[in-house]
A and B are shown apart, each in its own frame.
Chain A
Amino acid sequence: MSQPESSRRRVRVRTVILSSALVAILIAAVMVSAVVGQLSISVTEVIGALLKWMGITTAWAPLDPIIEATLEVVRFPRIVMALAVGAALAVAGALMQAVFGNPLAEPGVVGVSAGAALGASTAIVFGIAAGGGGVALLAFLGGLGATLLVYAVARAGGRTEVVTLLLTGIAINAFAQAGLAFVLFLADTASREQIVFWQLGSLAGSVWSEVLIVLPVLILGTILAVLLASKLDLLSLGERNARHLGVDVEQLRIIAIVLVALLTGVAVAFAGIIAFVGLVVPHIIRMALGPAHRGLLVASAVGGGALLAIADLMTRTLVSGADLPIGMLTALVGGPFFFGLLYQQRRRSGGWA
């Protein structure tokens, strides 16, 4: 019997192929997003502008200041925001699935996003500024509260059954929606519009100052998550087995839950509820790379960014002159996907296990 060197090599080859494919998709999505819009800009102008910001002036740099301003003020903040929010949601999804030991756990499905949206809208309506970060802070707290609630209610013996998880999600979503409705009722017209935006999700009007809040949280959260990767692998054996193998399960769970709330909270605070990214992306990556968390988390971050960049491009271009809500789009794709997953799980376990 020999060490399965061949299978390791196969995994390595797959990893390389998948990462290159993901990066290619990501770059293509970024370029197309930068080029397409009301003001059409050429690929060379985009590259020229990027190089110029890096301090390299080339002949490609856009001559028209309007083009440069459009890229700098409108398109690039939105693109980077799409990448960051997508990555944050996908990493949060993968983390949540690890903690719940269930591939169907997802911040949107189980109500964490709704909790965060409730927090964010509360901050808007009651004018809680907290030094400018009030919306983000309350989104985080709302998300954390919802995560802890699902966690407390839905888990038994270190695992979460599908039914329990989904029913808990329904309850938390219902409660958060009721809260949102109440806040909506209290709000004035301007705040009301902002809250509707939160419920549907949108990346329109992203500005650099917001991007600069999301990016550090994403980077820190992803690095911490990757550092936990091998422990998350052990957690798939169940909590007791993980403990027998030296994992401080309590500590791991708390860190992971705070990370989920942080990543989801910051994404929701600036982009609203965008469901199913955390479900679809890790699932596809797991099928391609296998379930080991180190690769899964990194690839999910890249894949989530690419997916949301493409989705955002579609919201801007599907109907000319209109910006569709991105949360609607991801739910339109993610809903059937979720349905398929449920069906598959049910068939495999012969019932609602």
Chain B
Amino acid sequence: MSNLTPLARLESVGLVMDGRAIVKTVSLEVFPGEVLALVGPNGAGKSSILSLLAGDVHATSGTALLGYRDVTKYRPDEASRLRSVLMQANQVSFPFSVWEIVEMGRAPWARTPQISEDDEAIEEALHLADVGHLSERRFNQLSGGERARVSLARVLAQRTPLVLLDEPTAALDLKHQESVMATIRGLADQGRGVVVVVHDLSVAAGYADRVAMVVEGRLSATGSPEEVIVADRVSDVYGVDVDIQQVGHPPRPVVLPRRKP
């Protein structure tokens, strides 16, 4: 994929917050058409890497590029047409309806020709996140999993080339976990670049083109799921003995913790 221009790139990026190095010399590229999964233990710095890519925080060292420019140099409205972000926790201060929330995802395209896609984009996003039946409900009245899907629909409606998702499947049941991951796969197949933080290694392996293992603020490994998700590395990083089996067509690694009888 290296013949393509990356949508976003971290060049030896470091991030220090409150005197603590959270991200250490991370280099990473996100290409159009790929799903890049960020995996790793809690507190390893996955969300911080996503924030750096999104331009929410300034890199302490190195540069974070969106296209060819430093991501923090964009005007907010320019950046909002290039990348969309799903954060882990999503609250809404006032009782907006689900439709209104998803419609907010179209805000970046106001006063652009793409405004004509608004209704279609909202419809599609509601459908993909399976929240169409909730469209008239108030966001504040929904369950955790439903809120997560509505927030995802808002991000999908934004229709940006780069999509950054922080644990989109965390609160979801099995069916919605699979449908959301399939949707993410579909985005990449349309030519968009997706970076997704996932905890379930088997889910990451099942849907990602590349997996980046984040450990203590560094990328300990980046590559195809088969290269990165291997028993020794997983056992070492997580401190849990695991078996790895190759399942499905084409075969993808599935991680099974060894449990005491």
Contact = CB atoms under 8 A, between A and B. Distances in A.
B66 to A, nearest CB: 12
B150 to A, nearest CB: 11
A225 to B, nearest CB: 16
Nearest to A287: B95
Nearest to B99: A4
Interface residues of B, number: 40
Contacts of A103: 93-94
Given A245-B105, A248-B75, A236 B136 contact: no
Contacts of A234: 104, 107
Contacts of B122: 3
* Chain A contact patch, size range: 20 to 34
A246 B108 CA distance: 6
Nearest to A296: B94
Interface in A95-128: 97-98, 101-103
Interface in B80-106: 80-81, 83-85, 87, 90-97, 99-101, 104-105
Interface string B126-151: 11000011011000000000000000
A247 interface: yes
Given A246-B79, A248-B76, A291 B110 contact: no
A230 interface: yes
Given A233-B104, A290-B95, A291-B95, A246 B76 contact: yes
Given A234-B107, A290-B97, 14 more contacts: A3-B119, A7-B136, A102-B93, A159-B91, A230-B110, A233-B96, A233-B104, A240-B56, A241-B90, A244-B80, A245-B108, A246-B77, A248-B77, A286-B94
Interface of A: 1, 3-4, 7, 97-98, 101-103, 159, 230, 233-238, 240-241, 243-249, 286, 290-292
Interface of B: 54, 56, 75-81, 83-85, 87, 90-97, 99-101, 104-105, 107-108, 110, 119, 122-123, 126-127, 132-133, 135-136, 154, 158
